[in-house]
Each structure stands twice: as structure tokens, then as C-alpha cells.
């Protein structure tokens, strides 16, 4: 008699599936537990229960860590798809409700986070306490791409230099002009305003090589046929200002970053006397109809419109 496979489905819950996917991605139960904010022992039990329900081993455990069995490798691929589909389902269902609830994925560049978002997000959270903002910092081109690929509900990026497709809607967010940060004893510190040619004559502190600001400054130097010398390049505005404070060079940064990190007597801040210093930050979101209420409410708040409780 041929064997018959039971039609009764094993009890597999979505949370255990997600824990398994995270463990497989991290290659460690301890790291997966830390990422998912759960005790390692509880996570291990969840995976053991999942293996029991499926009737097959998913992980090979050893003192060196974990490895996936053949069944585990197959479940990882399918589990990632199930997790993505479940997140999309939750997103869609939440959009159909009348309340402003749920999670909004917000991607933003560094200057938006430093200079403008804290106060606006605080106002939004007071008006909409049931909405969670999942904020991530990225470079401007990464923000635009994430919006295009629907990995971010709302993005904030520098305008200009980045092609924004018609699939995205765009709104003004803020102006954040460039300025120069110098140590007090620098030869240019006595000047009220500085020309870019004067700044370029001294060693610079660069920020995020290949980023939008770095590319912009290099393009302006090429247009003016100026040679730039970077004494040091760092990944953030806070680190750039520390390098300036230590006397390792001067930096061209957004006004928001200068206010946040170079506001003490250890620095001099001077405006650039150039027509191109204006720097606009813009909001972006994938064109959707209808748009989730929580996403629409966040866009309105970030535009500067006073939020109203949902």
C-alpha cells in the first residue's frame, strides 16, 4: 500500500518563523536573541518547538555556532518570503483602519536627523502616540532608492544631484545652507564671510567620501578650477567637527550640523559667500492611493503643518 502523507498541517506560528530567519541570518542564537530582544534560552526553545512541529532538524548546533541543515536552508528562503508577505499584509490592513496607527518607515540623511527631525518627530508623537517611527540614517541616494523600492514609507534627502523618478512624490522639507567651521586661531577666523577659493587654499576635513555633500563640494571645486586637499575624511558631521577642534583642518558643513556640533567657543562658524550655498532637503514617498493614514499624517507634520490628533 502506498504511503499517505497526512493532510493535517503542523502548528507553525509566524513569530517562531521570524526567530528562525533571524538566527539563520546572524549565524548565532545569542546574536539573534539580542537583535530580537528575547532571551537566548527562550529563542532556542522556540526553534526546538518549530523543529518538533515540522518533524525535521533545521539547525546543526556546535560550540562554534550553528549551521543550517538542508531543510533549514529551504525554510530560510521560504521563511524570509513569508515574513515579508506578513509585514506587507499588516501594512495594508492598518491602512484600511480609521485610526492613525502602525509603523512608518522613515529614512533620512544625517543633516535632516541632526538639524530638523527631533522637534518635528516629537510633535508628531504627541499628536499620534499610537504610531511608531522606524527611523534609519542613510545617504541621500540610498534614501531615494529605498522610497522607490518601497523599503521606506517616507524619505528625506538633499535636492539636486539625484534623479528623482516620477514614481515618487516630493515636498519641501527644509533649507540647510552650507557654512565653514574653523578653529579660533585659524587665519580665516577673523573674516566675516569666506569665499570658496579662500577655503580651498587650506587643508580640509571631508565628510562621507562619495556622499552627496562630498560630491557637491568636489563639483564646485572642479567648476572653479580649484584644487582641494583633504587632511582627513570621516563618516559623520560630529567627527568632522572634532577634527576641526583638534586643528586637523577646516570643514564645509550644513548649518544644522554646525549648530549641533560646533556651537561652543572652541569653534568659529562663518558663512560661505557663494551663490550656490543654498541646500534644500526634500521629502519623498512612493505614489500610492490611498496612502496609509499614518504615513500621510507624518508627511504633513514633516512639511511643517501643525499635526492634529488622530
Helix, strand, coil proportions of the chain in percent (round to 5)? Answer: 45, 20, 35
Under DSSP, is residue 306 helix (H, G, I), strand (E, B) or coil? coil
Note the pLDDT of residue 225: 95
Mean of the per-residue pLDDT values of the chain: 89
CATH no. of 100-176+280-303: 3.40.190.10
Note the pLDDT of residue 97: 61
Q: Provide the residue ranges of all domains of the chain, joining segments of one domain with +.
A: 14-94, 100-176+280-303, 178-271
Note the pLDDT of residue 107: 97
Note the pLDDT of residue 3: 44
pLDDT digits (tens, 9 = 90+) for 133-153: 999 999 999 999 999 999 999
Give the CATH fold of the 178-271 domain.
D-Maltodextrin-Binding Protein; domain 2 (3.40.190)
Q: Taking 50 as the threshold, does the pLDDT of residue 206 lie above it?
A: yes
Integer angstrom CA distances of residue 101 from 178, 293, 295: 37, 8, 9
pLDDT grade for 4, boundaries at 50, 70 and 90: very low
Give the CATH fold of the 14-94 domain.
Arc Repressor Mutant, subunit A (1.10.10)
Q: Taking 70 as the threshold, does the pLDDT of residue 2 lie above it?
A: no
Evaluate whether 100-176+280-303 and 178-271 have a shared fold: yes
Distance CA 98, CA 96 (A): 7
Query: What stretches of 27-69 show up as alpha helix (H) in DSSP?
Result: 29-36, 40-54
pLDDT grade for 270, boundaries at 50, 70 and 90: very high
pLDDT digits (tens, 9 = 90+) for 153-167: 999 999 987 888 889
Q: Taking 50 as the threshold, does the pLDDT of residue 173 lie above it?
A: yes
Integer angstrom CA distances of residue 271 from 2, 178, 275, 289: 83, 7, 11, 43
The residue among 66 and 89 whose pLDDT is bigger is: 66
Amino acid at each position: 500500500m502506498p504511503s499517505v502523507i497526512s493532510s493535517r498541517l503542523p502548528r507553525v506560528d509566524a513569530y517562531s518563523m521570524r526567530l528562525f530567519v533571524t538566527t539563520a541570518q546572524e549565524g548565532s542564537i545569542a546574536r539573534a536573541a539580542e537583535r530580537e530582544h528575547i532571551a537566548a534560552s527562550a529563542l532556542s526553545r522556540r526553534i526546538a518547538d518549530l523543529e518538533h512541529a515540522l518533524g525535521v532538524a533545521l539547525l546543526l548546533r556546535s560550540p562554534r555556532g550553528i549551521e543550517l541543515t538542508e531543510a533549514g536552508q529551504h525554510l530560510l528562503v521560504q521563511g524570509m518570503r513569508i515574513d515579508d508577505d506578513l509585514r506587507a499584509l499588516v501594512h495594508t490592513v492598518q491602512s484600511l483602519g480609521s485610526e492613525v496607527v502602525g509603523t512608518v518607515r522613515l529614512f533620512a540623511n544625517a543633516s535632516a536627523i541632526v538639524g530638523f527631525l527631533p522637534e518635528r518627530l516629537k510633535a508628531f508623537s504627541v499628536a499620534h502616540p499610537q504610531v511608531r517611527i522606524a527611523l534609519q540614517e542613510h545617504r541621500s541616494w540610498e534614501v531615494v532608492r529605498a522610497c522607490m523600492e518601497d523599503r521606506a514609507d517616507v524619505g528625506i534627502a538633499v535636492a539636486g544631484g539625484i534623479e528623482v523618478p516620477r514614481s515618487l512624490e516630493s515636498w519641501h522639507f527644509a533649507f540647510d545652507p552650507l557654512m565653514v567651521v574653523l578653529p579660533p586661531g585659524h587665519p580665516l577666523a577673523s573674516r566675516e564671510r569666506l569665499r570658496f577659493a579662500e577655503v580651498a587654499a587650506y587643508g580640509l576635513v571631508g565628510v562621507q567620501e562619495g556622499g552627496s555633500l562630498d560630491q557637491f563640494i568636489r563639483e564646485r571645486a572642479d567648476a572653479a578650477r580649484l584644487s582641494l586637499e583633504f587632511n582627513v575624511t570621516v563618516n559623520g558631521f560630529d567627527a568632522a567637527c572634532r577634527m576641526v577642534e583638534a586643528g586637523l583642518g577646516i570643514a564645509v558643513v550644513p548649518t544644522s550640523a554646525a549648530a549641533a556640533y560646533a556651537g561652543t567657543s572652541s569653534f568659529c562658524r562663518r558663512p560661505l559667500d557663494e551663490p550656490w550655498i543654498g541646500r534644500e532637503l526634500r521629502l519623498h514617498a512612493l505614489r500610492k492611493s490611498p496612502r496609509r493614514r499614518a504615513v500621510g499624517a507624518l508627511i504633513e507634520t514633516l512639511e511643517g503643518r501643525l499635526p492634529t490628533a488622530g
